[in-house]
Amino acid sequence: MSSKGTTRRLGKTDIEVSSIGLGAMQFSGGRSFTRFYLSAIPTEIEDKVVKVALESGINWIDTAEVYGSGESERAVAHALTAAGISPGDVVIATKWLPIMKSAKSISRSAEKSTRRLEPYPIDLYLVHQPYSRSSVKSQMDAMADLVDSNIIRAVGVSNFSSDKMTRAHEALSDRGISLATNQVRFSLLDRRIESNGILERAKELGVTITAYTPLGMGLLTGKLHSNPELFESMPRFRRTSLRRKLEKSQPLVDLLEDIAVEQKATAAQVALSWATNYHGDIIVAIPGASKTYQAEQNAGAMHVSLSSEQMNSLSTLSRELS
């Protein structure tokens, strides 16, 4: 464990990001698969969320072509333009969905994402899932071509196992490029990367872990425990996936809230601070936000410094509950 820093380098690249970013899956307009998890947000609210996030110290946004079939990428560009942000003043990450596709489609997909995000360039381009018709090497070669062509700055992967992450790292190294990140689930409610080799290998390779769903799809905020009406108002599929975990996670939420009182923070901020600092500076997180107070709250987690005792007590309880 180490003390918190608000800015971290993505892997061995020259890209500096805030330890908390803004996940933008919720900007999907209620389209495609995201409608089962997230409700549509009015454009004016999306614009305000992005503006508040940036004003609060967040300097990067994570999106993907599959979020609303490109709607999230368009929403991010719209919000940045509305906020008067110049290209290059914010780090943009987006992803290529490889399912049922080959590496040959990567350049075409990158072009489409670039158009949707205009005038903001793609800084970090990720392979969204480990399932493709092409080998990891072929995918990384196509990604490296994009770097060489100055279409993107850095390459990442998402949901890759330790072995596939290693293969991606090696294939990029052959092209003189470093693997920036592996984006995976990680939170006090999901710590699988600590036991399946991903975290250990990432440390060895110098690859940053980007934690998605760091608040356990909202469970770690405590709001769903204290407000049954809020829970029941969520999209049905999300309710179903969370219902079993609601009661089980109550002791952890109680501890988060106790520590939050000590820290003069919120339970969500304590959970995010733990996720991004318990293992040092190798992990950054991309919580979503559908309201401005959530964006401000998430950014504020970068200023919460938990003691070793607090981090260890959370770690111990989360392991007991898993």
67 as an active site residue: the answer is yes
From the list 312, 56, 53, 23, the residue with the least C-alpha distance to 183 is: 23
Q: Which residues pair with 157 in a beta bridge?
A: 127, 182
Count of H helices and E strands in the chain?
Answer: 13, 10
Distance CA 282, CA 273 (A): 13
Query: Do residues 279 and 207 lie in contact, with contact meaning Cβ atoms separated by under 8 Å?
Result: no
Coil, strand or helix: which one is 260?
A: helix
Alpha helix (H) residue ranges in 39-135: 43-55, 71-82, 106-117
CA-CA-CA-CA torsion sign (20, 305, 195, 178): positive
> Which residues share a beta bridge with 62?
23, 93
Rg (CA), the chain: 19
Contact 86, 54 (CB under 8 A): no
Catalytic pick among 67, 120, 212, 278: 67
> Hey, which residues are catalytic here?
67
